[in-house]
Structure 1
């Protein structure tokens, strides 16, 4: 499904089918890396599933779709600039098509680093889509947190706990985790409960 969605998207701006398939194959290979337990194709599928609920609110759908596909194309647990590198990879690939909203899309991808409220509602939707897992059932959240730990397996527990607690604290310090009304109503309370529980468990160790 997500392969066909991507090909339908890029074909609007590129008639070079070999290139279009090359772009998809790169996405698929990167998101299917053996080192990815959460930031994988299933993550993209979940984002698209959630997008269906708010698609009528999106102003520039194609830009948002490209941002979803490319926001984690580069993901290494040892890097601090994954979002920037992902934006550059998007630019490198999609600049070879006739798509003209490159800067807007790059800004959306970069915004997934700090998840700050944006003046652009499409960006806020992207940020919320990226974090819907936080507001899912405790069982789903537990599976997510365990998969994140696997992605950072090279770090010893004491280092991982320190970094993870910092991330969770920063989430709880936000006025709202979710920037848009729909996702705030759907997931805010459960997300805060899930994050607080994980933080509590990390503090017990």
Structure 2
């Protein structure tokens, strides 16, 4: 729980350590829900690792870390549109308020969480860019890692028939490919952009495997 407690303290939380630890444990329980196959604690850990490695690129890395903990706190594969991201943002603001995080900071963390709906950031938003880049790091995986990612996503949407899943997944892939850049921060763009685009284009061409 040290990671969550430290990030919350750095963001101004005034709650007791025991309360911060309880909140961290509660968040981990949400990341361990049975409907999750990709959006699990392993994904949270991977996102936090990217943020920690590149924290110097963001003016408020503690806010980015808290947003990472919250960004899939609500995850229902049957939800429509960006409901999960909206609900996670609302959840983040409420939880941080109970932990004594200043309102301005809690609102900013909630805003960052909301960005993960479309991964589109505005100008001069390095905190948002780091969160979105970290969330999409999986797209630049090697062949084995990318295959495991797509298989886990298909498991989460096992309730969706193959044809409908293929159409929906194609929309997601096209939206990502239509972004001006998948990664916003220059060091991450230089390292990952070409690999991620190749993975997305290959998946779009081949189509998802049957569930």
TM-score normalised by the shorter chain: which range applies? over 0.9
Measured on the aligned residues, the alpha-carbon RMSD in Å equals 1.7
Give the count of matched residue pairs: 203
**1:8 aligns to what?**
6
Gaps in structure 1 of 5+ consecutive residues: none
Change (3 A) 1:116 1:21: same
What's the TM-score once normalised by structure 1's chain length?
Answer: 0.93
**1:87 aligns to what?**
89
Q: CA deviation at 1:56?
A: 1.1
Q: CA deviation at 1:107?
A: 0.9
Q: Which runs of 4+ in 1 moved over 2 A?
A: 7-12, 14-19
User: Superposition pairs for residues 20-31 of structure 1, below 5 Å?
Assistant: 20-31=20-31
**2:184 aligns to what?**
179
Change (3 A) 1:15 1:98: closer
Change (3 A) 1:178 1:11: closer
Query: Which has the larger displacement, 47-56 or 166-175?
Result: 47-56
Q: CA deviation at 1:57?
A: 1.5
Query: Which has the larger displacement, 92-101 or 4-13?
Result: 4-13
Q: Does the 8 Å contact 1:10/1:20 carry over to 2?
A: yes
**1:61 aligns to what?**
61
**2:150 aligns to what?**
145
- 2:78 aligns to what SS in structure 1? coil
**2:45 aligns to what?**
45
Query: Which has the larger displacement, 160-169 or 22-31?
Result: 22-31
Deviation per residue, 1:29-88 (Å, 9 max, x gap) = 110111111111111111122123311121012211110100000011111310110011
Q: CA deviation at 1:11?
A: 4.5
Q: CA deviation at 1:89?
A: 0.8
**1:168 aligns to what?**
173
Deviation per residue, 1:124-149 (Å, 9 max, x gap) = 11100000000110110110000000
Change (3 A) 1:11 1:117: closer
- 2:128 aligns to what SS in structure 1? helix
- 2:42 aligns to what SS in structure 1? helix
Q: Does the 8 Å contact 2:30/2:73 carry over to 1?
A: yes
Matched, 1:190 2:195: yes
**1:107 aligns to what?**
111
What's the TM-score once normalised by structure 2's chain length?
Answer: 0.90
**2:98 aligns to what?**
96
